[in-house]
Structure 1
């Protein structure tokens, strides 16, 4: 079979694996096509490192396997991009910051290694918001630059995993890994018409779905997690199954699903986001989904008591632990912070080093977070909900701020709102409570930009949440590719 370039670029991760497993598509041909695509779209700044020789060599090894052996690899020849704060052996892990430029870890993060062991090929490292502390992916480090949205290069792709999302949306790779502390897989997925998953974190220990200790340059061990990103939820389920060893997804039908609509997360939306979201609701309602209004009146207060104190206190010890465990060239958090290039991140690290919310940390972790977790669990149980549903972000992608990196936005001409606060409002509760969250495309706005839907599920119900997401995407459909 002869594959055109367009046919190869259109492949989802699941389709690409099936074609390579069967021998219908050579992994080396596919990798070469995507490497050429990456080179032609370099202006998007989606990647910080492209592994030309290594990726092609890995693809040739896949092609050289006996047919039966290749068919047994769950991710045979699948090209993936990996966010630049996730450890990769032989490839730079800089977290998008100058002090770590060129640093190469000795081993892969466990989540990366499981993908590689299953036959995946790391195509390169993805650009990101510097040190993962932002939601725009406007990076001022000289080796990177701002990630640009494939649907409009003057706009942000979201962050902090914006490079992974942009590469996937631009058909540079069919799938990849990001990280998520407050919304960093889900926000860029929503703004680029892709899918992003935050797996269960729970108590951060036995309830954590992905275990990557000291293998990701952190913000917060309480909140951080690696998360798969792809163009379809089915592809995310494929990667999640490999990383966790989980079996087949449960069977889910839309008819009869009980889906909660949390009122605070549907308020204050940009008009074009609201229009897309309500149009999608009508289609889901016609398919038999049962929508349950949920007030969750205490959510904002509880979330506010938890999120900031944890995110601004834990980096001091957590980042130092990563630097030490990985024998990084930077030996202290202060040394790392002194070379930060992005103005918005520098301001945040001033707050981190000053421990401005330190006195609230113990109560946030030991008093308020358990209350928030129980509050969310009671909502799911009390209303017999399969998931919560709401727009992932209140607004579509906004213009790149190449002066500050992140400043203020206005929703339909209203009062200025801090950019990070505006985009994090709907994604942050899943992060602080430790439950799984999934963003998938809801539709295109009147201005031609993607709008995302987020599904949050009960703790530990990750595979069922992914199955619900697949049922949603089968009804709502994929978005058109960006015109590049």
Structure 2
């Protein structure tokens, strides 16, 4: 079979693996096509590293296998990108910051290694918001620069995993890995029209779904996790199954689903975004989903008492531990902070080094976070809910600004609000509670810009959540490719 360039670019991860396993497509031909696309779309700034030689060598190894051997590899020949704060052997892991620009880890992060062992091919490293401390991916480091949204290059792609999302949406790769602390897989997934999963973290022990100790440049050990990103929920399930050892997944029957609509996360939305979300609700309800309004009046208050404290205190020890464990070229958090290029990230690290929230840390961790977790558990149990559903973000993508450290946005002409707070409001609570969250495309606002819907599930319900996402994806569909 002869594949056109456009046909190859439109393959989902699942489709690409099937075509390579069955011999209808060569891994080397597919990788060459995507490498050329990455170079042609370099203006999006989605990647910091493109490993042409390594990717082609890996593709040739896949092609040299017999059909039976390829069939044993669940990701045979699948090109992926990995966010630049996740350790990759032989490729730089800079976290988008100057002090780590030339750092090359000795080994892959466990999540990356499992993908590679399953036959995935590492095409390159994805750009990101510097040190993952932001939601725009407007990076001012000289070696990185701002990532651009494929649906409109003048707009942000979301962050901090903006490079992974932009590369997937632009059809440079079908799938990849990001990380999520407060929304960093889900926000860019929503703004770029793809799907993104934040796996369960729980309290960091057996409840943690992905285990990558000292293999990701950290913000918060309580909140950080690697997460898969792809154009379809089916592809997320494929990657998640490989990383965790689970098998194939069927979609959930929609007629039996009870989905909660949390009132605080449906308020103050951009009108064009809410219109898309309401149309999606109507489609799902017509298909048999039962929606249950839930109040959750303490949600945002409890989240506020946890979020900033953890994010601005835990890096003091967590980043230092990563630097030491990885024999990094700088030895202290102050060394990293001294060379930060982006003003908003520099301001955050000023607060971190001053430990401005240290006095509130124990209370946030031992009092307010358990209360937030209990509120979620009670909400799911008392209403008999399978999941919660709400718009992933309050507004669609906004223009890239100069990142002066005090960026503000206005929703439908209202009073200006902090840009990070505006985008994090809906994703952050699940992060602090340690529960799984899945963003999937809902449609295009004004026929132009992507809108995401987020499903949050009880702690440890990741596969069930993906099964619900699969069912919703069949009803809502996926988005058309951006015009590039």
d(CA) in 1 for partners of 2:230, 2:205:
26
Shift of 1:406: 6.0
Shift of 1:71: 1.1
State the superposition RMSD in angstroms.
0.8
The number of aligned residues is 484
Q: Which position in structure 2 is the counterpart of 1:54?
A: 54
- For residues 202-281 of structure 1, the aligned pairs below 5 Å read 202-249=202-249, 251-281=251-281
d(CA) in 2 for partners of 1:234, 1:400:
31
d(CA) in 2 for partners of 1:196, 1:481:
17
d(CA) in 2 for partners of 1:118, 1:356:
44
- For residues 143-222 of structure 1, the aligned pairs below 5 Å read 143-222=143-222
d(CA) in 2 for partners of 1:371, 1:281:
30
- For residues 9-20 of structure 1, the aligned pairs below 5 Å read 9-20=9-20
Q: Scaled by the length of structure 2, what TM-score is found?
A: 0.99
Shift of 1:246: 1.4
Q: Which position in structure 1 is the counterpart of 2:451?
A: 451
**Which secondary structure does the structure 2 equivalent of 1:202 belong to?**
coil
Q: Which position in structure 2 is the counterpart of 1:392?
A: 392
Q: Which position in structure 1 is the counterpart of 2:7?
A: 7
CA contact (8 A) 1:436 1:458 kept: yes
Shift of 1:402: 2.2
Q: Which position in structure 1 is the counterpart of 2:117?
A: 117
Shift of 1:165: 0.1
CA contact (8 A) 2:393 2:424 kept: yes
CA contact (8 A) 1:250 1:463 kept: no
d(CA) in 2 for partners of 1:422, 1:252:
32
Q: Which position in structure 2 is the counterpart of 1:380?
A: 380
Does 247-256 or 387-396 show the bigger shift?
Answer: 247-256
Shift of 1:442: 0.4
**Which secondary structure does the structure 2 equivalent of 1:255 belong to?**
helix
Gaps of 5+ in 1: none
d(CA) in 1 for partners of 2:154, 2:369:
38
Q: Which position in structure 1 is the counterpart of 2:353?
A: 353
Does 104-113 or 363-372 show the bigger shift?
Answer: 363-372
Q: Scaled by the length of structure 1, what TM-score is found?
A: 0.99
d(CA) in 1 for partners of 2:294, 2:406:
32
CA contact (8 A) 1:157 1:188 kept: yes
Change (3 A) 1:171 1:250: closer
d(CA) in 1 for partners of 2:143, 2:91:
15
CA contact (8 A) 2:344 2:403 kept: no
List structure 1 runs of 4+ shifted beyond 3 angstroms. Answer: none
Q: Which position in structure 2 is the counterpart of 1:73?
A: 73
Gaps of 5+ in 2: none
CA contact (8 A) 1:136 1:406 kept: no
Shift of 1:368: 1.0
**Which secondary structure does the structure 2 equivalent of 1:29 belong to?**
helix
CA contact (8 A) 1:139 1:405 kept: no
- For residues 282-293 of structure 1, the aligned pairs below 5 Å read 282-293=282-293
Deviation track 1:75-111 (CA, whole Å, cap 9, x = no partner) reads 0000000000000000000000000001100000000
